[in-house]
Every structure is written in C-alpha cells, then in structure tokens.
Amino acid sequence: MELISALIVGLVGSLHCAGMCGPIAIALPLDNRSWFDRISGGLLYNTGRILTYGFMGAIFGLAGMGLALGGLQQWISIAVGAIMVLSILIPGIASANSTFTRFIDPLTSWLKKAFGKFLTRKTYPSLFMLGLLNGFLPCGLVYIALAGALITSNVYEGTFYMLLFGLGTIPMMLAISLAGNLISLKLRKSLSRIIPYFIVLLGLLFILRGLNLGIPYISPKLSQQGDTTTMECCPPKN
C-alpha cells in the first residue's frame, strides 16, 4: 500500500509541479529540435530528477529504520500525518517553514547559479544534470513524499518509494517541457488547487496507519520484527 501511495502522490502531486516547477520545465533548452530530440531530452532531464529522489529516499529510509528499531515508527507516522493536516487547516504552520527556508538559502543560491550554467548548454548531459539539480530544490511536495519514505523504515523501500513518486510526476512534467507555454499559467494554477485536499487525505491515512488498527491496507498491524528475531535467535531455556 505504501509503494502504491508513492505513485499516487507523484501523479496527483504533479498538478502542484505544473504550477510551481512548470517554469523550469518550460525553460529547458528543447526548442528548435526534432520531436525525437525533445522527447529524449525531456526524459533525460526527468531521469536525473528521479535519481536524486531515489538517493534522498535511501537516506530517509535509513533514518526510518533507526526510528523503527527505537519503537517510534507508529508515532512518527501519526506526527507526520498531523503536521500535514494542520499545515492545511492552519496556514500559519506552513509559514513557519520560513526559518528552514533561510537555513537552506545558501544551497538554493548555489543551485540557481548551476541551473543558469547548464541552461545555456544545449546538450544531453546538461539536461541530465539539470534534472539531478532540480531534485534538490526545496519543494513541499517532495517533503511529503520523503515523509512517506521515512515511514517505510527500510533503505530499499525508501529508495523505491521515491523512485515511484518521481515516475508519477513524469507525465505532467514531460508534457509541460514539450508543450511549453501551450499549457497556460492560469490552468496550471487551477490544477494545483486540488493539492490541499489531497494533502489532508494523505495526512489522515498516515495517522490511521500509525494507529495500528489492523485494517488491511489502510491501518495494518505493524509487525514486531525485533521481538520475533529475539525469540528465534534466543529461545527460552527449559
């Protein structure tokens, strides 16, 4: 269920990408090329972006593994879900990330300079590098996906979670890079209005998962792997 949700987050969340990251996709040096070159260049750009997401998923999956070993997996799921819901219901919470934004401003400034450098190079490697860099740009949607990778509590599942999330965003992002300004800014903003409702729904699912209610797919019982391992390795003495 978690991995399926990653693909859904990418597909629905790409409506947010249409409004926020659309200008980057439109600015890609794909004009005045054949359709084959434009499609292959767009796929290279998105491949780089997805690989970055996978790298971050591995890191958050590893962090989640440590939290699971500490018995905090349920509480982290509930906390993440509550923050997602409250960030929509109480807008002031969302604005509180300004401190975090200031903290990563140096990285953002460096990324902008690197973007400008590669945008001037109309080559396939530059498109791939633009995708790699784009994956590191601050984005609320990516943070939501990383929260899901954290809850997987597994390096491999965390990586796969983010790869599926990235795959879900490809149709919209590729369409924007190919169609360019044919998709109006007004339409992109209209599509992004769906996102708050989706975030609330996803947050509620995270909360239900953490409550460990035993509901298949929605709130399954979390396995006590650590206890089982202990019993198998160290059986009680007679």
Q: Is residue 63 part of a domain?
A: yes
pLDDT of residue 233: 41
**pLDDT of 118 higher than 80:** yes
Q: Phi, psi at residue 193, to the nearest 5°?
A: -70, -15
Cα separation, 39 vs 36, whole angstroms: 5
Residue 234 is predicted with a pLDDT of 46
> Domain residues for 82?
2-233
Provide the CA 92 distance to its chain's centre, in angstroms.
23
Q: Is 238 within a domain? A: no
Residues 6 or more apart in contact with residue 13 via CB below 8 angstroms: 141, 144, 145, 165, 168, 169, 195, 198
- Between 49 and 120, whose confidence is greater? 49
Best CA proximity match to 135, nearest among 115, 156, 113: 115
Q: Is 161 contained in some domain?
A: yes
Q: Which run of H or E residues covers position 102?
A: helix 98-103
Residue 149 belongs to some domain of the structure: yes
| 17 has a pLDDT exceeding 60 | yes
Average pLDDT over residues 203-222: 77
What's the rounded mean pLDDT across residues 19-36?
Answer: 73
* Number of domains the chain contains: 1
pLDDT tens digits for 153-171? Answer: 889 999 999 999 999 999 8
Q: Rounded to the nearest 5 degrees, what angle is found at the Cα of 110, between the Cα atoms of 181 and 131? A: 45
Q: How many CB atoms lie within 10 A of CB 74?
A: 16
Is the residue at 156 inside a domain? yes
